[in-house]
Structure 1
Amino acid sequence: PFEENIEMTRRVVEYAHERGVVVEAELGRLAGVEDAVKVNSKDATYTDPDQAVEFVERTGCDSLAIAIGTSHGAYKFKGKPELDFARLEKITNLLPGYPLVLHGASTVIPSFVEECNKYGGKLDGAQGVPEDMLLQAGKFGVCKINIDTDLRLAMTASIRKHLVENPGDFDPRQYLKPARQAIQDMVAHKMRDVLNSSNRL
């Protein structure tokens, strides 16, 4: 509930700020699974722009993760991917210059899904947030985008491929070396081509 979220977040902010720690709060509920938290799509709620302003003012949080249609996991959309950019624009206009965050924003790149499936995976129907939508979100004030599933897919596809092509390898150093490189390449791609953060502090 809104008031409970405010009270708990305010207490966290007070505790954290006394120790020089910044707080990223969240308003709205993303569908999907993250750690031990599972939210059905019917229980997901988008961030109310007017509540966002009140929430930031009353809690003193340093950034705010908003819900506009992203979700956790590899199955973000059943049909055509859609984000509520009108809602995002309204929040940005009501909180000009304030750091907004998107959680659950992996693209679930099809080539990595295909690679996983080719080497024994089962990710049929996996679909994420198209990268052009993430670029657009950045133009509307989103300054941090959480990407996890794409990193997992890059690593898993690499490991699966290596083990199929090199069935005699059993030393983790043999299959983790290309897996680490796959993650490094994915991070470089996201920074350069999606997050517009190359050569920036």
Structure 2
Amino acid sequence: IPGFPIVLHGASSVPQNFVDEINSLGGKLPDAVGIPEEQLRKAASLAVCKINIDSDIRLALTAGIRRVMTNQPEVFDPRTYLTVARDEVRKMVVHKIVNVLGSANTL
């Protein structure tokens, strides 16, 4: 349908590095899979105008928190573990914007 926006709901790629890290730190996400980033990149170059990546964001956040809680069990200040988690989210979102969605420097 020309001019009609297409949205991909549930289109997270579910980065395996975050799934593996979460599982190695006590998580239980044995069957977590997503859409390959190559397919999302192709969709973004066509008529798709919105790709939801919330699961990827939550995986990055959770991996960062679990890493701090496992490696530094004495830490209980959320400013410490949320700083690491926020950095993981930022890196993942920048990667998606630049390398997957192709929307760097666009409005």
Give the TM-score taking structure 1 as reference length. 0.52
- Encode CA deviations 1:46-104: one digit per residue, 9 max, x unaligned: xxxxxxxxxxxxxxxxxxxxxxxxxxxxxxxxxxxxxxxxxxxxxxxxx1232211111
**How well do the aligned residues superpose, as a CA RMSD in angstroms?**
0.9
Looking at CA atoms only, which structure, 1 or 2, has the larger radius of gyration? 1
Matching residue of 1:158: 64
Instruction: Determine helix, strand or coil for the equivalent of 1:135.
Output: helix
Matching residue of 1:197: 103
Q: Please, which of 111, 114, 122 is the counterpart of residue 17 of structure 2?
A: 111
* 1:39-54 alignment, distance < 5 Å: none
CA distance in structure 2 between the partners assigned to 1:138 and 1:107 by the alignment: 13
Percent of aligned pairs with the same amino acid: 53
- Encode CA deviations 1:14-71: one digit per residue, 9 max, x unaligned: xxxxxxxxxxxxxxxxxxxxxxxxxxxxxxxxxxxxxxxxxxxxxxxxxxxxxxxxxx
Matching residue of 1:18: none
Q: Which has the higher helix share?
A: 2
Q: Which amino acid aligns with 2:10?
A: G
CA distance in structure 2 between the partners assigned to 1:175 and 1:143 by the alignment: 34
Matching residue of 2:80: 174
Q: Please, which of 23, 32, 42 is the counterpart of residue 136 of structure 1?
A: 42
Instruction: Determine helix, strand or coil for the equivalent of 2:7.
Output: strand
CA distance in structure 2 between the partners assigned to 1:184 and 1:138 by the alignment: 20
CA distance in structure 2 between the partners assigned to 1:199 and 1:139 by the alignment: 15
Deviation at 1:139, TM superposition (A): 2.9
- Encode CA deviations 1:126-157: one digit per residue, 9 max, x unaligned: 10010011111123300111111000000001
Corresponding residue pairs, total:
107
Runs of 4+ in 1 over 6 A off after TM superposition: none
Give the TM-score taking structure 2 as reference length. 0.96
Q: Which amino acid aligns with 1:154?
A: A
Unaligned runs of 5+ in 1: 1-94
Greater RCO (Cα-Cα under 8 Å, separation 6 or more): 2
Unaligned runs of 5+ in 2: none
